[in-house]
């Protein structure tokens, strides 16, 4: 049915009639979306089954990527692209009277993630399938994704994201594959033939139902599975008939509590807080996921001792760390293994990826909570801790401090990172600098104990979604210049280096950017009624709102520019449009105040006719994957300005680079590796280094008040946060922000980096005036971005951590 345009049109029209009883003329865009996505789902069904049969027949080793988040966004366009029929379908629909862009908008954005970590998981799935690895995703099918953001009166307001409201054409419910997950209860121990047997009684059982989503590989019929688990109640959860002595009411309570398990995604406020429901979610994912992995393994009819030869589990941060005690539990309690063997198997199966160096974000669960909710898992963690302590005592007999520092259980808390490192064979950071910081500081003790476990895997992004799909005009131009091999081998984008000075190519490149900027300008006007000039420099910062990402530095600098323009109306600056997009965790007060500040500044500046030709500020509501696809291709400048050492990697930085934006950034996360390739000529680096930041934390010597008193620009913009004038409309309007910087001694060095940030922006201004040179820089950014394709990252994980080779290579 997808052979050619005409047969597609015929099949499509026919399905519209058969499935919805609608002649084409009466179909809405939503109807078109529904039929089209249904057709694709059906179309891939056979190849999906074939891929699974192949895995089984060839006894492939499989990797399971366990993650509490998969930020997949929309699937229609991406699936058509990977199937190689996007252009054909686009044309066919156009001929039938439906612009593809309008059809696409009918799909809700699957926002099952907060930001980088969740989007990384989605990019990895795309690469796994496209490179023909046997790789699966394991996650939770949240009923509500990350909240929808509305801006009201400049403030963020959160609305529930009921993304499933209109159904989900991509998923298949698989009740036949359901498993049971048990909470609460008591462990009874007895002896049987000289062995201790552990049995949990009086537990509460929950049904885990999988929903499978096909993950379509690019350019070949290789289809992997993302399995998302949903919690449902059982008829007989307590293993006793309900209805007796008040147990009916207990059942009703139970029913409600079960539904909440897969109800919503927790927003990340990077400030760890141990919530019972979150722990339930984590164990739900781990237990259902591990049981399902083992069921698939069972079909191979091999002994469990061979599990590490056939299965790798990668845990996306510590959120799914409970796979470790869960796998041990199943091996010991259900399969009769002794501790050593169960531990050894588990250790060889699991790998752990760390995504954070903010110590306040590290997960620690209260002992009591784990003991009550997961009594048997708790016993196993206790045993892991006991054995680790013995190992440490032997290794460091005279260093009790070190043992307390490294223990898993300490101060009535369970440190999940320590559990993850000791229970797995691999711990990786997500950028070179990040891994070095883990080894030298954050996890130094563990690095010294297990040096060979630590390794780096610099993050990546799928160039299929982020270049070919999001920026088709640029992809086409690239192919015209260097051919199409780069699509399968993204490193070959470096073929563009030879075109970077070619005037004809530069001007074609500039036209593509211009076209993308016009599209974004139209979107901004449609959505927010603000007119921005596509001729101006588009300077963009889109990412979660967090103090360490320093949106505040950006907005204070904008205020400074505005002050200069007010003082000196004739000042010669390149016209700029500053664009922001960011969600703040609902409970993160300071982050929300920064959103209000950005909107206040935007309102003032956009309302001031005297700067209307040179300065605009836009805060785009509800930043999400599909919005990112519209914004990133239109950027001239990419803001990656975190306090050095704080951003583990960043992946937005890579997306902008691949779309020909030039980065203004600190030497943080993967910016460092970008800089290695691009050099000072093609990136605007500023600010303290990670080492300098560390030194200030360690030895002091920085005073925010001194900065304020010694730099008149800083003095002026800080005062504008509290004194009515160009920015504030009443006394102390932004006192909380003012205080966070001055009274708390500027934890993120916003003031310290202000001068060098301003200077970087002056350099941007100068550089943008020389358009040809600017194009050259932008082209070089694209040319060097192939290294950041997630294909490259996934090959690294596959060969060095999972020991997996692509299926087609056999």
Which residues are catalytic, by number?
355, 543-544, 549, 651, 655
Any contact of residue 185 with ligand 26Q (CB under 6 A)? no
Any contact of residue 555 with ligand 26Q (CB under 6 A)? no
In angstroms, what is the minimal distance from the CB of 492 to ligand 26Q? 25
DSSP letters spanning 172-190: EE-GGG-EEEEES-EEEEE
In angstroms, what is the minimal distance from the CB of 384 to ligand 26Q? 21
Stretch that binds ligand 26Q, among 159-167, 190-198, 642-650, 771-779 (CB under 6 A): 642-650
Closer residue to ligand 26Q, CB minimum distance, 13 or 455? 455
Residue in 280, 355, 415, 439 binding ligand 26Q, rule: CB under 6 A: 355
In angstroms, what is the minimal distance from the CB of 423 to ligand 26Q? 19
Residue in 647, 673, 733, 753 binding ligand 26Q, rule: CB under 6 A: 647
Site for ligand 26Q in 102-121 (CB under 6 A): 114-117, 120
Closer residue to ligand 26Q, CB minimum distance, 27 or 357? 357
Site for ligand 26Q in 259-288 (CB under 6 A): 266, 268, 272, 278
Closer residue to ligand 26Q, CB minimum distance, 431 or 661? 431
Please, which residues bridge with residue 157 across strands? Answer: 150
In angstroms, what is the minimal distance from the CB of 151 to ligand 26Q? 23
Any contact of residue 357 with ligand 26Q (CB under 6 A)? no
- Cβ count near 501 (within 10 Å): 14
Any contact of residue 650 with ligand 26Q (CB under 6 A)? yes
Closer residue to ligand 26Q, CB minimum distance, 104 or 647? 647
SS in 3 state form for 473-495? HHHHHHHHHHCCHHHHCHHHHHH
Q: Please name which of 564, 547, 666 lies closest in space to residue 615, comparing C-alpha atoms.
A: 564
CA end-to-end distance (rounded Å), the chain: 31
Any contact of residue 649 with ligand 26Q (CB under 6 A)? yes
Closer residue to ligand 26Q, CB minimum distance, 132 or 663? 663
In angstroms, what is the minimal distance from the CB of 435 to ligand 26Q? 12
In angstroms, what is the minimal distance from the CB of 578 to ligand 26Q? 22
Closer residue to ligand 26Q, CB minimum distance, 278 or 713? 278
SS3 324: helix
- Nearest residue (beta carbon) to ligand 26Q: 116
Please say whether the dihedral angle defined by the alpha carbons of residues 524, 530, 534 and 540, taken in this order, is positive or negative. Answer: negative
- For residue 254 the two structure tokens come to 């139970």
CA 589/CA 586 separation, integer angstroms: 8
Q: Please name which of 198, 190, 53, 65 lies closest in space to residue 122, comparing C-alpha atoms.
A: 65
Which residues contact residue 190 at a Cβ distance below 8 angstroms, ignoring those fewer than 6 apart?
A: 196, 197, 199
Closer residue to ligand 26Q, CB minimum distance, 346 or 649? 649
Q: Work out whether strand 204-216 and strand 364-366 pair parallel, antiparallel, or are unpaired.
A: unpaired
Closer residue to ligand 26Q, CB minimum distance, 621 or 647? 647
In angstroms, what is the minimal distance from the CB of 365 to ligand 26Q? 10
Q: Please name which of 36, 47, 32 lies closest in space to residue 214, comparing C-alpha atoms.
A: 47
Q: Please name which of 458, 457, 463 lies closest in space to residue 673, comparing C-alpha atoms.
A: 458
Site for ligand 26Q in 665-684 (CB under 6 A): 669
In angstroms, what is the minimal distance from the CB of 431 to ligand 26Q? 7
CA 121/CA 394 separation, integer angstroms: 39
Mask of contacts with ligand 26Q, 686-705, x by CB under 6 A?
--------------------
Mask of contacts with ligand 26Q, 398-437, x by CB under 6 A?
--------------------------------x-------
What are the backbone dihedrals phi and psi of residue 312, each rounded to the nearest 5 degrees, phi first? Answer: -120, 140
CA 802/CA 324 separation, integer angstroms: 16
CA 196/CA 199 separation, integer angstroms: 10
- For residue 581 the two structure tokens come to 């997009």
Closer residue to ligand 26Q, CB minimum distance, 163 or 365? 365
CA 183/CA 326 separation, integer angstroms: 12
SS3 546: coil
Any contact of residue 250 with ligand 26Q (CB under 6 A)? no
Any contact of residue 459 with ligand 26Q (CB under 6 A)? yes
Stretch that binds ligand 26Q, among 22-30, 53-61, 168-176, 641-649 (CB under 6 A): 641-649
Exposure pattern of 115-146 as b/e (b: 16+ CB <10 Å)?
A: bbbbbbbbbbbbbbbbbbbbbbbbbbbbbbbb
Closer residue to ligand 26Q, CB minimum distance, 354 or 758? 354
- For residue 271 the two structure tokens come to 């400030």
SS3 572: coil
Contacts of 678-685 with CB under 8 Å at 24 or more apart are 678/780, 678/781, 678/784, 681/777, 682/777, 682/780, 682/781, 684/637, 684/760, 684/761, 684/763, 684/764, 684/767, 685/760
CA 687/CA 758 separation, integer angstroms: 10
CA 616/CA 340 separation, integer angstroms: 64
Any contact of residue 351 with ligand 26Q (CB under 6 A)? no
Closer residue to ligand 26Q, CB minimum distance, 169 or 647? 647
SS3 640: strand
- Dmax over CA atoms of the chain, in Å, equals 92
Cα-based distances in Å from 292 to 179, 198, 209, 424: 7, 22, 11, 20
Positions touching ligand 26Q (CB under 6 A) are 114-117, 120, 266, 268, 272, 278, 355-356, 430, 459, 647-651, 669
């Amino acid at each position: 049915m997808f052979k050619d345009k005409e047969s597609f049109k015929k099949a499509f029209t026919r399905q519209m009639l058969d499935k919805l009883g609608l002649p084409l003329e009466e179909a809405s865009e939503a109807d078109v979306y529904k039929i089209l996505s249904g057709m694709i789902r059906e179309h891939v069904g056979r190849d999906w089954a074939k891929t699974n049969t192949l895995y089984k027949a060839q006894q492939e080793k499989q990797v399971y990527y366990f993650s509490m988040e998969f930020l997949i966004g929309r699937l229609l366009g991406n699936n058509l692209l990977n199937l190689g029929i996007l252009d054909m379908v686009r044309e066919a629909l156009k001929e039938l009277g439906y612009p593809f862009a309008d059809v696409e908008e009918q799909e809700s954005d699957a926002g099952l993630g907060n930001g980088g970590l969740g989007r990384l998981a989605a990019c990895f799935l795309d690469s796994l399938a496209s490179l023909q690895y046997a790789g699966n995703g394991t996650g939770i099918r949240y009923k509500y994704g990350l909240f929808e953001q509305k801006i009201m009166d400049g403030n963020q307001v959160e609305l529930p994201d009921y993304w499933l409201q209109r159904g989900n054409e991509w998923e298949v419910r698989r009740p036949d594959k359901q498993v049971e997950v048990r909470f609460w209860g008591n462990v009874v121990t007895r002896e049987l033939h000289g062995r201790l047997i552990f049995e949990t009684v009086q537990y509460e059982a929950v049904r885990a139902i999988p929903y499978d989503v096909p993950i379509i590989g690019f350019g070949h019929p290789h289809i992997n599975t993302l399995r998302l688990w949903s919690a449902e109640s059982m008829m007989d959860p307590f293993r006793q008939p309900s209805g007796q002595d008040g147990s009916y009411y207990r059942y009703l309570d139970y029913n409600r509590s079960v539904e909440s398990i897969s109800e919503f995604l927790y927003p990340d406020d990077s400030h760890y807080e141990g919530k019972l429901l979150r722990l339930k979610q984590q164990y739900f994912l781990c237990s259902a996921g591990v049981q399902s992995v083992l069921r698939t393994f069972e079909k191979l009819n091999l002994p469990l001792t061979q599990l590490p030869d056939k299965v790798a589990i990668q845990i996306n941060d510590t959120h799914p760390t409970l796979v470790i005690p869960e796998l041990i539990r199943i091996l010991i309690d259900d399969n009769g293994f002794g501790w050593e063997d169960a531990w050894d198997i588990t250790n060889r199966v699991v790998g752990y990826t760390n995504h954070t160096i903010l110590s306040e974000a590290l997960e620690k669960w209260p002992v009591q909570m784990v003991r009550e909710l997961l009594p048997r898992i708790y016993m196993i963690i206790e045993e892991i801790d006991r054995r680790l302590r013995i190992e440490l005592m032997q290794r460091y007999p005279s260093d009790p401090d070190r043992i307390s520092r490294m223990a898993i259980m300490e101060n009535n808390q369970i440190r999940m990172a320590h559990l993850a490192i000791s229970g797995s064979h691999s711990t990786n950071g997500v950028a070179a600098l990040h891994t070095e910081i883990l080894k030298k500081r954050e996890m130094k003790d563990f690095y010294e104990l297990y040096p060979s476990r630590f390794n780096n895997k610099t993050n990546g992004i799928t160039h299929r979604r982020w270049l070919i799909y999001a920026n088709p005009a640029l992809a086409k131009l690239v192919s015209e210049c260097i051919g199409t091999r780069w699509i399968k081998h993204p490193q070959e984008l470096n073929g563009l280096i030879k075109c970077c000075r070619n005037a004809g190519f530069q001007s074609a490149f500039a036209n593509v950017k211009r076209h993308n900027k016009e599209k974004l300008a139209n979107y901004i006007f449609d959505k927010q009624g603000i007119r921005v000039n596509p001729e101006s420099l588009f300077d963009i910062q889109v990412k979660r709102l967090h103090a360490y990402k320093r949106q505040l530095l950006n907005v204070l600098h904008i205020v400074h520019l505005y002050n200069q323009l007010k003082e000196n109306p004739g000042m010669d600056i390149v016209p700029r449009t500053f664009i922001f997009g960011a969600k703040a965790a609902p409970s993160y007060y300071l982050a929300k105040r920064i959103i209000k500040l950005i909107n206040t500044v935007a309102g003032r500046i956009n309302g001031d006719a005297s700067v209307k030709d040179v300065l605009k500020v836009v805060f785009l509501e509800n930043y999400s994957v599909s919005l990112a696809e519209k914004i990133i291709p239109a950027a001239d400048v990419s803001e990656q300005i975190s306090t050095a050492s704080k951003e583990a990697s960043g992946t937005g930085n890579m997306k902008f680079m691949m779309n020909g934006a030039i980065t203004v950034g600190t030497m943080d996360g993967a910016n460092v590796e970008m800089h290695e390739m691009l050099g000072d000529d093609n990136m605007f680096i500023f600010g303290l280094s990670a080492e300098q930041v560390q030194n200030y934390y360690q030895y002091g010597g920085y005073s925010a008040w001194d900065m304020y008193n010694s730099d008149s620009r800083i003095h002026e913009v800080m005062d504008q946060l509290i004194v009515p004038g160009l920015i504030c409309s009443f006394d102390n309007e932004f006192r909380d922000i003012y205080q966070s910087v001055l009274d708390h001694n500027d934890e993120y060095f916003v003031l310290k980096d202000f001068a060098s940030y301003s200077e970087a922006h002056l350099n941007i201004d100068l550089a943008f005036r020389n358009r040809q040179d600017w194009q050259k820089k932008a082209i070089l950014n694209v040319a060097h971005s192939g290294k950041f394709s997630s294909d490259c990252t996934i090959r690294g994980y596959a060969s060095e951590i999972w020991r997996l080779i692509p299926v087609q290579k056999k």
